[in-house]
Structure 1
C-alpha cells in the first residue's frame, strides 16, 4: 500500500480531456495522484490532423509531468476499486480519500509519447503512399479523417463505409446533409447501410467486401468506428452496481457517483444525456474540481455546485479551413465555423488551460 502527505489524497483515474484538466486544477490543493496507462495526454480532437501532418503532434501530445508539477503520475492501468484504494494491473494498491473516475473510452494507444509520435508518422507515410483509402465508420472521426485527407491529398480516392443511413448521426439531419455534400464534392464515395467485418481484416489487405456484397479496393484502411465506454474494469468491485445498462457511471448533479459520497465521475463515462464532446468534458472537470475543493475545505453538501447542461453545439472539421457546425438555432458549413475550430483545433486553447505555452515552444 502506498501513502504519503498530510493533505487529503485525491486519485484521478484517466488522463484524457476530463482527467487531465481536473488533475491540473486540483494539484495544489490536495495530495494528487493521476493514474493513466500513458505517460502523456493527447488532445483527442486533434489526432486526425496529426495523421496528415505528424509535426502537429508535437503540440498535441503533452507529457503529464509537463502540466502536473505538484502531483504524482502513476503510469499504469487501474483494474479494481475498493472502498479506500485503487488496485493497478501490477498489483499496486493506491489509497484515496476522494476518487475521480475519468476513463472515458478504451484505447490501445502506446505507453510513451515517442511511440505515439511514431504511430502518427507511420499513418502519414501509409496515406502518402496510397492511391486509395478506406474509412470504416461515418461518425465524426470518419468524417474528419476523410476531410483531412481530401484537403491535404486531393488526388487520393477515399471511400467511407458506414452502417447508418446518414453521416454524423449524433447531430441533426441538416448537418449530415451538408457534410455529405462537402465530401461528395471532393469525390469522396460514401456507402450507407453497410458494414465491413473488422475481425477479418489485416494491415496488408487491399480488397474488401461490404455486408451488402459491394467490393471496395483500397491501398490502406482506417477503423473510425466509435468506441464503447471505458468501464469494463468497474464490473468487479464496489462500483459494479453504479453502472447503467450502457456501462456508464450514474452520477448526481454534483458529479458524485450515486450512493458514493467520496467518488466522482466526469467526462464520457457518465450517464448524463448530452453530446459526448471535449468541451463538455472540460465543463465536467471544472465543476467537479470546484466541488472537490469545497469538500477538501470541509464545506457541507449544501454548498456544492450543481451541473446544468447547456445548449448542444457541435463543430466537425472538414480539413484545415472549413467545418460544419450545429448551433442552437443554426446549422452552417464553410469558412466561418472552420475559422473557429479547424485552423488550430483548439490545441492552443487546450495547452493554455493546462498552464502551457499555446505555441508549444
Structure 2
C-alpha cells in the first residue's frame, strides 16, 4: 500500500474514493482492484486507477457471527481483522485512510475527511465515489462504533456477565434477536430468557416460519422476570428488572449525515436512479460517477446475500461507465471492449436464522428450509469461513488463481 504522498504524485490516475470500510466498502475495494481495474487498464486510452478506502475503524468486523461470539470467546479472533494488512498487496493502487466523512461537495467532487485519531481535516478529490457507510445500531455488539475496541470491550463485558446471569432480557424480534436468544439458551440452558419484540418475531418471514421459530424459542428457554438487577422500561411503560439486558434492535442511525439532502430519502438512506446502484442527483447536487452499496441504499433488504449481489452490480456499473466514456461499447465474450453492465440479483426470499447450533428456521426461494439445512448453511460456524476470503479479497480471484493458491497451500502443509 503506497503512501498518500506517492499516490497524490500521480495526477493522471482516476481517483476512486470508497467511504466505509466494513462489509460493503472492503468488498467493493477488492472487487474493483482485482476484477474491474485490470479490465479497464487494457483499454486504449485508459490511464491508471487509484482507490482511497476511508473508514474510522482500523479493523474489519464480521458482524454476522456476533451472536455466536457472545458465548464463544474463541470466535472473537476470527471476526476482527486489520484493514491495512488486507490492502498492502496492492501497492500504489490503494491507500487506506482512517477517518470519517464529514461533508461532501458534489459540484467540486470533493469529500472532507476528519482523520482518526488526530482529528485533522483532509479533502479528497474523487472522479468516482462509492458510498458504503451503512448504518449503526444502538449496541456496539452488532455494528462498529468508530473503533473496533469498543465492540471488543462490549463482548468482553458480556463474556464476564453472562455466566453470572440468571435472568436476561433481549430486545428485538428480528434475526439478530432470535439468533442471540438461541445461542445464549444453548450455552446457558438454566438461564431464564425473555425476548421482547415490537410486533411478531421475524416479521418479514411467512407465518408458518414465524410459528416454528417461536416454538423453537420456547423450547430453548423460559421467559421470566427477576426482583434484582437492571430495570428496563418497555414501550408500553411496563417495567422489567433483569440481571442483563441486550439490545438487538435494528439500526438507530443511518450514516449519511455528510451527504447532500437531495440524495436521501425521508429516512436518510440513499436514493439510486436505477437498479444498477447509481446515485440519483440533480442539478444542485450532481451524482455522476457516484454509487451506493449496502444498508445505506434506500429500499435495501440489509442482508449479506443482497450485499454480495450489490458489489458485483455497482462494480460493473463503474466499469461500464468508464468504458463508455473511453468510447467503447462493452460486448459479451470479448475481453477488449470494456466492462459489461451486470445486475447480479440476490436470491429472493432466502434467509437463514439459526436458533442455537443445531436448530433454526429459514427460506430458500420462498420455500421453508429444514433445521438441518439451516445448521449446515449458517448455524454450524456462523459463516466464519467467509472472513478470510472477504478481508483478503480472495473471493474475487479468478478460477486459475484460486487453483494455484490451493496448490501452494497443499505444498506448505
Whole-angstrom distance in 1 between the partners of 2:329 and 2:240: 58
Match of 1:327?
Answer: 364
Q: 1:284 to 1:310 in 2, by over 3 A?
A: same
Match of 1:144?
Answer: 179
Aligned residues: 342
Match of 1:242?
Answer: 263
CA offsets 1:179-236 (integer angstroms, 9 cap, x no match): 1110111224399xxxxxxxxxxxx9523343445443311101111114524414xx
DSSP 3-state at the match of 1:92:
strand
TM (norm. structure 1) is: 0.85
Residue 298 of structure 2 is aligned with which of 271, 276, 279? 271
Match of 1:17?
Answer: 23
**Cα drift, residue 31 of structure 1:** 0.8
Checking the alignment, whether the CA contact within 8 Å between 1:324 and 1:338 is kept in structure 2 is: no
Whole-angstrom distance in 2 between the partners of 1:217 and 1:12: 44
**Counterparts of residues 8-157 of structure 1 (less than 5 Å):** 8-27=14-33, 29=37, 30-69=49-88, 70=90, 71-83=94-106, 84-89=109-114, 90-107=120-137, 109-157=144-192
Whole-angstrom distance in 1 between the partners of 2:257 and 2:224: 36
Greater Cα shift, 47-56 or 63-72: 63-72
**Cα drift, residue 285 of structure 1:** 1.0
CA offsets 1:265-299 (integer angstroms, 9 cap, x no match): 01111124x52201211210122122323444536
**Cα drift, residue 27 of structure 1:** 3.2
Instruction: Give RMSD over aligned pairs.
Output: 2.8
In structure 2, stretches of 5+ residues that fail to align are 38-48, 115-119, 282-286, 331-339, 396-413
Whole-angstrom distance in 1 between the partners of 2:125 and 2:133: 18
Match of 2:231?
Answer: 207
**Counterparts of residues 171-320 of structure 1 (less than 5 Å):** 171-189=205-223, 206-212=230-236, 214-228=238-252, 230-234=254-258, 239-251=260-272, 252-259=274-281, 260-272=287-299, 275-297=301-323, 298=326, 303-306=340-343, 308=345, 310-320=347-357
Match of 1:201?
Answer: none
Whole-angstrom distance in 1 between the partners of 2:394 and 2:347: 29
**Cα drift, residue 135 of structure 1:** 0.8
Checking the alignment, whether the CA contact within 8 Å between 2:167 and 2:224 is kept in structure 1 is: no
